[in-house]
Amino acid sequence: MDQVYEVCKQSEIPVYFVGGCVRDYLLCKKSTDFDLAIDSHGFEVLCQKLEKNYALNKSQFSTFSINIGDYNVDVAAFRMETYNRANGLPDIQLAKMEKDINRRDFTINTGYTLMTKSSIRVLVGAHLNRNQSNDILKINYSHLHFFEDIENKLIRILHPNSFVEDASRLLRAVKYQVTLGLNFETDTQLKFNSKLARSALEKFSLDRYKQIILDYALKSNGKHIISALYNEKLLLYTISSSSPVLTNVKMDSMMSFDSSLALFGKALLEEVDDRTRSVLFLLFIYHEHIIFWKNQDRSVNLLIEEITAIQSGLQVDFICDAWHVFKLLQGKSIASILFVSLLIQNGFIAIDHPELIIELSTYLDKTRFTKVLVTGTDLKNIGINQGKQIGVMLNSLLKYKVNKRVNMTINEEINWIASRINEYRD
């Protein structure tokens, strides 16, 4: 952050911390995302100076993003916004700071703090315990309800059409409820629940909507955000790209997910991180429409592809024994296997094999670790020289170990093959 400060100081350009980083500090939360606001001239100067040493991600809305160390910094020129499009993307007009405040989503995000050495120490240094710091964060400009709403932890829109103009604010409000423990101001609650706001969400850019939801799901507390969105009926799916509708899934959401997942035991669940579990929860809600979330995130794509492959394998004359389960699941992630198991447990996949859940659990607990210790060289030493024979025998040994669920030493494996060597000679 010092790099930004030095550029602005040398050019005598005031730049302000604004939005979430100021809000989070006042709510005693740590932030690694910093929004900066600056006049249009300063924006151009700062952009030109920084792009000499950093890769800037620029947008058409007079903004750019930059990663500095562990921090993500978004810089925007002061501007006014008008919304003439249903996708939530604004038309902009450069303006003064006094006008810039009106484009913000909620009053709690309208605190402007001049960037100084002191404010950098407070915000970037993360002095969350004010008793340990002599620095005081000075708010240079804000909405008239800013301090009141911060103190009372209220979500308040700045004007009546806020949710209609940008329906992503519906999603963000729910995220703030979950992550910051906020409640709606009375009139904002009415606007949030209005048919106009919900209609605006259904007309919102589908790609942007998906990216926002996946970003939420990939947070460490993403499952709780997704659950809250589900309960508020803010999760969408679509049969065609032109007709999104609100979801109407038939389940008890998080309770069903958690109770089913708990059956696999703590040790196994520890192999799946919180973010992946949040994505699994999202896909669990969309169990009939998981393809809806494809092509938005590489890791999610891979997960969906594995889930789809397992489901397809179960439907094509599947033989339900340890070996065929092993072949189907080998190389698949624990997350994708758990997900398919959850679908079976909850009756979302119709199967002809009641023992399948037991076989899946056995694979997860034991047989997935099964491997052959003996090598081709070991087999050559006992008189098997042909490559094809070696491959067949190693595969037969693996199949035996999987079906019998046994552990064997190398000598035991060699003896097992030696006892059957005549079966594999031409």
Cβ contact 202:236 at 8 Å? yes
What is the average per-residue pLDDT within 76-80?
87
Does 68 score more than 80 pLDDT?
no
The mean pLDDT value of the chain amounts to 85
Q: What amino acid occupies position 161?
A: N
Does 3 score more than 90 pLDDT?
no
CA 271/CA 264 separation, integer angstroms: 11
What is the average per-residue pLDDT within 201-220?
89
pLDDT of residue 5: 82
Given pLDDT bands bounded at 50, 70 and 90, which one contains residue 194?
very high
For residue 288, report the phi and psi dihedrals to the nearest 5 degrees. Answer: -90, -10
Measuring CA to CA, which residue among 11, 62, 36, 176 is closest to residue 119? 36
What domains are defined for the chain? Answer: 2-152 (3.30.460.10), 249-368 (no CATH), 376-424 (no CATH)
100-109 pLDDT, tens digit per residue, is 998 899 999 9
Given pLDDT bands bounded at 50, 70 and 90, which one contains residue 187?
very high
Q: pLDDT above 90 covers what percent of the chain?
A: 41
Question: With helix as H, strand as E and coil as C, how does 113-140 read?
Answer: EECCHHHHHHHCCCCCCHHHCCCCCCCC
Please give the full DSSP string across 44-91, using - where no structure is assigned: HHHHHHHTTTS--EE-TTSEEEEEETTEEEEEEE-EEEE--STTSPPE
Residue with tokens 């423990």: 181
Q: Which two tokens stand for residue 101?
A: 């405040």
For residue 314, report the phi and psi dihedrals to the nearest 5 degrees. Answer: -75, -20
* Long-range contacts at 393-397 (CB < 8 A, ≥ 24 apart): 393/417, 393/420, 393/424, 396/420, 396/424, 397/372
Q: Which two tokens stand for residue 323?
A: 């070996």
Measuring CA to CA, which residue among 241, 249, 244 is closest to residue 201? 244
Which string of b and e fits 333-345 if b means at least 16 CB within 10 Å?
Answer: bbbbbbbbbbbbb
378-393 pLDDT, tens digit per residue, is 888 877 776 777 888 8
CA angle 303, 348, 337 (to 5 degrees): 35
CA 401/CA 398 separation, integer angstroms: 5
Cβ contacts of 98 within 8 Å, gap of 6 or more: 141
The pTM for the full model equals 0.84
For residue 193, report the phi and psi dihedrals to the nearest 5 degrees. Answer: -85, 0
Residue with tokens 């008793």: 131
227-259 pLDDT, tens digit per residue, is 899 888 898 876 544 455 545 454 455 567 877
